[in-house]
Amino acid sequence: MNAQDKPVEDLSRAEAEEELARLAAEIARHDALYYQQDAPEISDAAYDALRQRNMAIEEAFPDLIRPDSPRWRVGAAPASGFAKVRHAVPMLSLDNAFDEENLRDFVARVKRFLSWSDDEPLLFVAEPKIDGLSINLRYEQGRFVRGATRGDGREGEDVTRNLLTLKDLPKQLKGAAPEVMEVRGEVYMTKSDFAALNRRQEEAGGKVFANPRNAAAGSLRQLDPAITAQRPLRLFTYSWGELSENVADTHWGFLERLSDWGFSINPLAERCEDVDAMLALYHRVEAERAALDYDIDGVVYKVDRLDLQARLGFVSRAPRWAIAHKFPAERAITQLEKIDIQVGRTGALTPVAHLTPVNVGGVVVARATLHNADEIRRKDIREGDTVVVQRAGDVIPQVVEVVLDKRPEGTPEYDFPTRCPCPLQTEVVRHEGEAVSRCSGELACPYQQVEKLIHFVSRDAFDIEGLGEKQVQAFFDWGLIRTPADIFDLQEKDGADGLTRLKNRPGWGARSAEKLFEAIEARRRISLERFIFALGIRQVGQATALLLARSYGSLERWQSAMKQAASERHAAPQARKPEEVGQAYAELCDLSGVGMSMADEICAFFHERHNLEVLEQLEARLTVEDAVAPVTAADSPVAGKTLVFTGTLETMSRSEAKARAEALGAKVAGSVSKKTDYVIVGADAGSKARKAAELGVTILSEEEWRQMAGEAR
């Protein structure tokens, strides 16, 4: 059985690692399609199903959590064309529940975190989850001053002028309001307005939208506000960002204040006193879904008391105090026309099915992932087959099964390539314990070279305006760039050695070339976390890049420590425990969420001579800024400190204590070393407390820790 079809509890460690890699890559692609291009290829239910599987595997194998895990990501980086807005408070996403068991587990987790008993009553607010475009609205002195899309959760697009055309948006709030207030909501289009818009578009020969969500997003992101004004956009509000003062004690109270100020809130929202009431509302809303004049894809539950929300806080990309209960996935039948092979930056060969386009729940699907050779063989998938396609969570939809009674007679089996489709035709290898086949050409393979360059300039990395996939491929084909450093030499070498000037090449002109060179120059200064992420080290995504940057502080210190760790690992390749390898390697592994698998990938990167040359070349051309502590934690007494918790805490759970420490800018480690700053001991503290005493590390009681964290009773 293929790894992706096994229950989580049956996965081996190697299979789990393979599955997490597959899920991370595919979900990232669909995030870009949904948030940047407003052109999703799968349904929300399909998308959520793989997020659910990803989370389940991570819970079973917590040491395998990847830095590019979907749990760390929200949306995608903002598209070009609008000014960018940095959110004062990040706009995070929600974890998902797909059935009753998931929901009951969520409520149980909340109570465990709070150290509450199972029978202690806990009130929730339930609201339909609108399928639209998330928005942040900023008010100062009660007057609307700016609006921005969610973007990647930290930075969105300034769409203020377009939002001003919405009738549902109060330009001036009714009554008294905080000096500064950010209101969050969803811009959407009703089903009836969507149908009317498409009729007008078709009559005028314009673009016909696939569904109301795409229509709403496309309308709000028009560069000409006059076009937005012609589109019937609506707004529901449900949350907040930055607030200069508290406005309510409960979420329900906040919704009532929103209504008083003149905002629209969903009329189906209700308070629920327990899980049974939450489920009853879910089934009632699901039954009414088709009759509603707007699209919803589930129900969101939020802990009602705001003081409890503050205690629960956030984990990675989502709040602990809220969850989205999604509606089921959808399927469709179509024909698989052909199978193509894509080569990623790590050399992984991914088979992709090209389908006769089919509408699955309002979204046109034309491609589906086939994952790997084992998947094709197990399902006996062949070119020309009629197949069942499901939008069940993959970034590209997946082929569920073949309709065998519709297979043309004599259809041959699909032969997975043994040679890379790149011009070098290098041999394809498959390592023991892996389901992924890889090109053995590595840096010699042009497909991998191009993919690494595309990653380097991507929006979450160097974000060079005007240098996307097509441009990188063209520059590579023209011989203008081979390594990341070549990008920063483009202008200097433009037209040198008899080469054609960029402005004279196909698709370019004097102004577009000038703008590209300006964009490249603007990226000669970059933050350390973006620089680390741009290097494309396997398993190192945005979250880990940020963790590494904050842990080591500067490029010089990070490189020095990684080179030392790589040297230690090379000298002890068979060691099974971090402490058996060496101090630098052990300290790397001790960072929250890293572990030996990820540390080995980082060490492998720093052991490769070519990679060190690339780093040297980039250092000579760039200024990499030192990392800074989070603004909210800048004045914290534990910012930048390493903490270890041990024993049983009485006033908070271990999870709550760890979350609070990280929110204050501290690093929470699992073991005590000479670099540990504080060890917080609860009841029955054991070996960690003894080791702290032996090393002379400062030991704090739980009460002393609470005082340091500003939570003294």
Residue from 366, 249, 355, 361 nearest 308 by CA: 249
Q: Rounded CA gap, 492 and 35, in Å? A: 36
By CB neighbour count within 10 A (0-12 exposed, 13-18 middle, 19+ buried), where does 498 fall? exposed
Neighbours of 291 (CB within 10 A): 6
Q: Rounded CA gap, 661 and 692, in Å? A: 19
Q: Say if residues 449 and 482 touch (Cβ distance below 8 Å).
A: yes
Kindly state the helix (H) or strand (E) to which residue 17 belongs, with its residue range: helix 13-35
Residue from 192, 185, 311, 175 nearest 247 by CA: 175
Q: Rounded CA gap, 233 and 100, in Å? A: 34
Catalytic residues: 129
Bridge partner list, 243: 181
Q: Rounded CA gap, 554 and 561, in Å? A: 11
Q: Rounded CA gap, 121 and 96, in Å? A: 22
By CB neighbour count within 10 A (0-12 exposed, 13-18 middle, 19+ buried), where does 167 fall? exposed
154: number of CA atoms within 13 Å, CB side? 10
Cβ-proximal residues to 166 (8 Å cutoff; 6+ apart), any chain: 187, 233, 234, 235
Neighbours of 86 (CB within 10 A): 10
Q: Rounded CA gap, 268 and 127, in Å? A: 7
- CA angle centred on 155, ends 667 and 663, rounded to 5°: 20
> What is the torsion angle, in degrees rounded to the nearest 10, for the CA atoms of residue 45, residue 343, residue 453 and residue 393?
10
Q: Helix or strand or coil: residue 571?
A: helix
Q: Say if residues 71 and 544 touch (Cβ distance below 8 Å).
A: no
Neighbours of 180 (CB within 10 A): 16
698-701/678-681 β-pairing: parallel
By CB neighbour count within 10 A (0-12 exposed, 13-18 middle, 19+ buried), where does 575 fall? middle
- Tokens 């433009």 belong to 494
Q: Say if residues 602 and 537 touch (Cβ distance below 8 Å).
A: yes
Residue from 699, 678, 690 nearest 636 by CA: 678
By CB neighbour count within 10 A (0-12 exposed, 13-18 middle, 19+ buried), where does 552 fall? buried
- Tokens 């698989």 belong to 336
Rg of the chain taking only CA atoms, in angstroms? 26
Q: Say if residues 80 and 463 touch (Cβ distance below 8 Å).
A: no
Cα distances (angstroms) measured from residue 711 to each of 115, 334, 642: 17, 59, 19
CA 614 from chain center: how many Å? 27
Q: Say if residues 334 and 305 touch (Cβ distance below 8 Å).
A: no
The amino acid that residue 485 corresponds to is A
Neighbours of 205 (CB within 10 A): 7
Q: Dump the DSSP string for 358-379.
A: EEETTEEEEEEE--SHHHHHHH
Q: Say if residues 209 and 194 touch (Cβ distance below 8 Å).
A: yes
